[in-house]
Amino acid sequence: MKKNKPIHENDEVYYIFNASPELPLPWGANCLIYRSRDVKHFWDRVEYIGDNDIFQMMLESGKTRIAYNDNLCIYHHTVGTLFDWIGKWKRNMGKHFLANRPTRNLNWINVKHFKTKLIFWVIYSIFLPLSLLHAVSLAIKYRNFYWLYHPFVSLAQALTYIYVVFTNKRGHGLLVDFFSGKKI
C-alpha cells in the first residue's frame, strides 16, 4: 500500500487512500471498521455473506475511500491451539466458502493474477525449505522469533485447504472452475 500524506487527528495519524474494486485489498476481518450507513444494507439478505464480500460490495458501490492507521491495536482471539485453528480452516473452507460460493460476491478473488498468486502460495507453503528460509530472514529482520512458526502453520493451512477441496464434492467444482478459467 502506498502511503499518502499523513492526516493528524485526535493524537492519531491516518493515511487516506482509494481502493479499487478491480484490485481490492482482501482485508475482510483483518481489523476493518465500516461506517454502518455504508454497509448495513448489504447485511439485509438471507444468503451467507463473508467479511471480504462486504468490503468488495462496498468498493463496488463507490465507497472506495479508506483511512488507515498503523498504530491501532486490535486483540483478536480466535483459537487455543494449532489443531483448533486447523478445525476452523476446515469449517470455514467447507461450510462457508465452498457451500456458499454460488451466492457470494467473490470478485475480490477474481482479480488479475490471483490464480497465479494462489498457485505460488501453495508451492511456497508446501515447500518447507523456501518458507523456512523466508521465515528466518523475517525473524532476523524484525527480531521476532515467532516468524519461525510461519512455515509450519503455512504448511498446515495449505494441506488443510487441499484436503477439504479434494474430499468435498463442491471442492471438485471449485477445481473445475479454477482450471477451466471460470470465475471462482
Q: Are residues 171 and 88 in the same domain?
A: yes
Whether 115 and 40 map to the same domain: the answer is: no
The whole-angstrom separation of Cα 141 and Cα 150 is: 14
pLDDT at res. 30? 61
pLDDT of 39 reads 86
Neighbours of 135 (CB within 10 A): 21
Confidence (pTM): 0.84
Please report the pLDDT score of residue 23 as a whole number.
Answer: 83
Q: Are residues 174 and 96 in the same domain?
A: yes
Domain final position from 43, 68, 93? 68
Grid cell of 83 as nine digits: 489443531
Parent domain of 41? 6-68
Q: What is the predicted pLDDT for the residue at 2?
A: 57
Average pLDDT, consecutive stretches of 10 residues, N- to C-terminus, the chain (184 residues): 75 86 71 80 88 88 86 75 95 95 90 89 97 98 96 98 97 94 86
Q: What is the Cα–Cα distance from 119 to 30, expressed in whole angstroms? A: 23
DSSP 121: H
In order, the DSSP letters of 118-147 are HHHHHHHHH-HHHHHHHHHHHHHHHT-GGG
* Domain limit, last residue, from 14, 33, 68: 68
Note the pLDDT of residue 108. 86
**Residue among 131, 137, 105, 116 nearest 24 (CA):** 105
Please tell me whether residues 109 and 60 are part of one structural domain: no
Number of domains in the chain: 2
What per-residue confidence (pLDDT) applies to 170? 97
Give yes or no: residues 113 and 172 share one domain: yes
Residues 172 and 104 placed together within one structural domain of the fold: yes
Instruction: Report helix, strand or coil for 68.
Output: strand
pLDDT of residue 72: 74
Whether residue 95 sits in one domain with residue 62: no
